[in-house]
Amino acid sequence: MSLMSRLLIIWISSIAFLFAGGVSTKDKVQKFLTTSIKPNKNIKVLGFHIAKVVDLKDIPGWKAYILTIDIELLKQNNRVITIKDVIFSNGKYLSRAFVDIDTKKKLKDKILKSFSPDAPLSYYDDEHLLYGSKNAKYKLLVFSDPQCPFCMDFVPDVIEFVKKHPKDFALYYYHMPLSIHPGSDTIVKAEIAARKKGYKDINLKAYKADVEVDTKDPKKVLQVFNKKLKTNITLDDIKSKDVQNRFSNDLYRANKILVNGTPALYINGKFDAGREKMQHLMDEYSLK
């Protein structure tokens, strides 16, 4: 069962719901959800948005409405998260699901797997600009975890590439430590603090130094970080309000556009699934 299904009570028949006529389908769906999504004791629904409408080629007349829903988790220190779900409508009926009769797989799962919201223009701000020009033709936005092996293999190459082509490319960098890497939270905060203290190229150096830690203990993580990078970051530094705000804001923005893995790369606001377009651009520029 999806997080949406567990957290919300949605009064929709398991088969379909009949709409009244005379209004656009999107408006009908919007109105229906406004009156039908009900909170429970664990959550507060802050709002929802129809992020995308997709025509169903195999089911003529039907469309998929991809939703993003902001939820406050009342039993988790009022943490706000964004989740996504899909409902279907042909303008007269609304359904929660279609199932492939041969594979028994839900169509909504296939749609959600391929969906990623665009990165808003507001994400391309001065605070997150790491290298390159704000007026560059290609504005890259990356969410990365310093201990993620895929990030360590990919992100340093992108950084070096942008440094070589600062007029055509700009790199906006967001921290997204994953819970599976115990020391990432502290490493990220140390990187933020180091940049604020004036240390240059600290993100790139952290990747190249391969700061390996297998503990969550901030004091022990900082000892390794400072030794590897020749910095002097303290516990007070990473607990500062500025560092904590940047750390929280990066995670919040990742959540808002449903980033669920690293590295996640956007080019001019569009998600580059598999990072294929970026690789093509890097290959193209290497020939110039």
What does the alpha-carbon distance between residue 26 and residue 82 come to, in Å, rounded to a whole number? 21
pLDDT band of residue 21 (cuts 50, 70, 90) is low
Phi then psi dihedrals of residue 216, to 5 deg: -95, -10
Confidence label for 17 from pLDDT (cuts 50, 70 and 90)? very low
> Binning pLDDT at 50, 70 and 90, where does residue 126 land?
very high
pLDDT beyond 80 at 259: yes
Among 114, 130, 157, the domain-final residue is 114
Question: 158: which residues sit within 8 A by CB, 6+ positions away?
Answer: 140, 142, 171, 265, 278, 282
Q: Which residue has the tokens 């901030």?
A: 218
Taking the C-alpha atoms of residue 150 and residue 257, their distance in angstroms, rounded to an integer, is 20
Residues 181 and 88 in one domain: no
Is the CB of residue 221 less than 8 Å from the CB of residue 187?
A: yes
Same domain, 64 and 135: no
pTM: 0.77
Amino acid 23: pLDDT: 57
Within this chain, do residues 191 and 225 fall inside the same structural domain, yes or no?
Answer: yes
Determine the angle formed by the axes of helices 149-164 and 202-209, rounding to 10 degrees.
140
Per-residue pLDDT, 112: 83
Residue 191 to residue 75: CA distance in whole angstroms: 31
Residues 15 and 142 in one domain: no
HSE-CB of 66 using CA atoms within 13 angstroms: 21
109 and 129: one domain?
Answer: no
Q: Do 24 and 75 share a structural domain?
A: yes
| pLDDT (tens digit per residue) in 158-194 | 999 999 999 999 999 999 999 889 999 999 999 999 9
Residue 12 domain boundaries: 3-114
Cα separation, 195 vs 233, whole angstroms: 10
